[in-house]
């Protein structure tokens, strides 16, 4: 079976870089792209600002305290979209298997490419050079045989980096990763893993599949595979939404009828808002309940009509909740999702996050 060649391209400090490119007075200075209002949030920070601890999703007010000389720049999203379009024109010269993640990053499957180039690293290097020549900006790229590792590789040598994680060396690479750096491991999951004695990718690899699925449900299988360098997700160039879902984790576990009814009601309202926002049509409603001990159950029901409104969804949600033994088994999370019939159980949207790794990278190797 031919090994896939996956490239992850990620622009460096994208919004900030565009602003510095177009305004020479901003070059070399700490800037944050965002709106300078009381509740403004940093969209992107330049590398000069990051040295002071300024980062994306941070309050503008906090950022200014950390860096008193910080320059706040209003965002110009139309300009960013235009640059993004230029990037995709370059990508399409090599492959049509392109999965955009955001305006400034994408996965490319170049296993079979339009240029007939043998090495993924050669394609990545050429794409980086063309991006610089076309836009005046730098990009970082990662090359590997799967999306999980290509993403990690692109973050490794930022800015203007190029890193390859070769299949023959992937297991050693993963073994040294802190579990916090593995996709899907958030703060609470990491804390639970630490209590289980799991601190690195190697620790995770040594954990039995049965134990991981017992503790983390379906994500346990994902963690099991990632620890072994297994990620069979394809690069999807055309994506159709198959489900809409939401879930609420409670500050305190609930076990009273009134509390469950109230939280179920508010979860339904949130689901309806998401259905309207995405103009989604589905007929299967799925209830997810996670208990105090992290065990969880899912139940589904399919209607003979599209589910869109509170009056259509709430009675079905109550029906699914009947028989759930929460009086002696308190609930810590309730989730609801609507999907097209035949679609796997809806899960909350997941996204890649920026990773900062403390591990010596492998040199560029043929891939």
DSSP string, 120-131: HHHHHHHHHHHH
Rounded CA separation 343/276 (Å): 19
Q: Closest Cα to residue 149, out of 128, 164, 168, 138?
A: 164
Residues 6+ apart with CB under 8 A from 267: 246, 247, 248, 317, 334, 335, 336
Q: Beta strand pairing status for 71-73 and 31-33?
A: parallel
Q: Is 149 left (phi over 0), alpha (psi -120 to 50) or beta?
A: alpha
Task: Find the catalytic residue in 48, 105, 215, 247.
Answer: 105
Could you give the CA distance from residue 301 to residue 305 in angstroms, rounded to a whole number?
A: 12
Which residues, including other chains, have CB under 8 Å from residue 342's CB and lie 6 or more apart? none
β-bridge mates for residue 10, sequence order: 105, 140
38 is catalytic: no
Distance CA 113, CA 29 (A): 40
Residues linked to residue 286 through DSSP beta bridges, in sequence order: 300, 337
Pairwise CA distance, residues 86 & 153, whole Å: 23
Distances (CA, A) of 6 to 112, 120, 156: 10, 7, 16
For strand 284-291 and strand 331-339, is the pairing parallel, antiparallel, or unpaired?
antiparallel
CA distances from residue 60 to 27, 33, 55, 77, 202 in whole angstroms, order as listed: 20, 9, 10, 18, 39
d(CA 279, CA 313): 16
Catalytic annotation, residues: 105
């Amino acid at each position: 079976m031919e090994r896939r060649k996956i490239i992850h391209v990620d622009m460096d400090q994208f919004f900030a870089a565009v602003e510095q490119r177009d305004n020479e007075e901003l070059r070399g200075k700490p800037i944050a792209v965002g709106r300078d209002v009381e509740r403004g949030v940093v969209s992107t920070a330049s590398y000069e600002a990051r040295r002071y601890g300024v980062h994306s999703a941070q309050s503008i007010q906090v950022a200014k305290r950390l860096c008193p000389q910080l320059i706040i720049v209003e965002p110009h999203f139309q300009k960013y979209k235009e640059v993004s379009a230029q990037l995709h024109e370059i990508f399409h010269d090599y492959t049509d298997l392109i999965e955009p993640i955001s305006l400034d990053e994408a996965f490319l499957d170049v296993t079979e490419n339009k240029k007939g180039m043998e090495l993924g690293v050669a394609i990545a290097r050429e794409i980086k050079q063309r991006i610089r020549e076309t836009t005046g900006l730098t990009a970082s790229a990662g090359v590997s045989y799967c999306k999980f590792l290509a993403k990690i590789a692109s973050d490794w040598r930022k800015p203007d980096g190029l890193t390859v994680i070769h299949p023959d060396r992937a297991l050693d690479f993963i073994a040294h990763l802190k579990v916090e750096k593995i996709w899907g491991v958030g703060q609470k999951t990491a804390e639970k893993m630490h209590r289980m004695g799991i601190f690195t990718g190697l620790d995770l690899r040594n954990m039995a599949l049965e134990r991981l699925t017992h503790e983390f449900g379906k994500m346990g299988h994902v963690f099991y595979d990632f620890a072994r360098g297994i990620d069979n997700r394809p690069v999807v160039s055309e994506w159709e939404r198959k489900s809409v879902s939401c879930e609420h984790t409670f500050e305190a576990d609930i076990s009273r009828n009134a509390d469950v009814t109230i939280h179920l009601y508010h979860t339904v309202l949130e689901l309806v808002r998401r259905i309207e926002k995405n103009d989604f049509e589905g007929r299967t409603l799925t209830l997810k309940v996670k208990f105090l001990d992290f065990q969880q159950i899912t139940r589904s029901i399919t209607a003979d009509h599209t589910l869109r409104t509170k009056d259509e969804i709430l009675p079905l949600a109550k029906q699914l909740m009947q028989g759930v033994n929460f009086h002696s088994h308190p609930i810590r999370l309730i989730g609801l999702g609507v999907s097209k019939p035949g679609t796997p159980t809806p899960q909350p949207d997941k996204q890649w996050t920026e990773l900062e790794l403390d591990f010596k990278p492998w040199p560029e190797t043929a891939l």
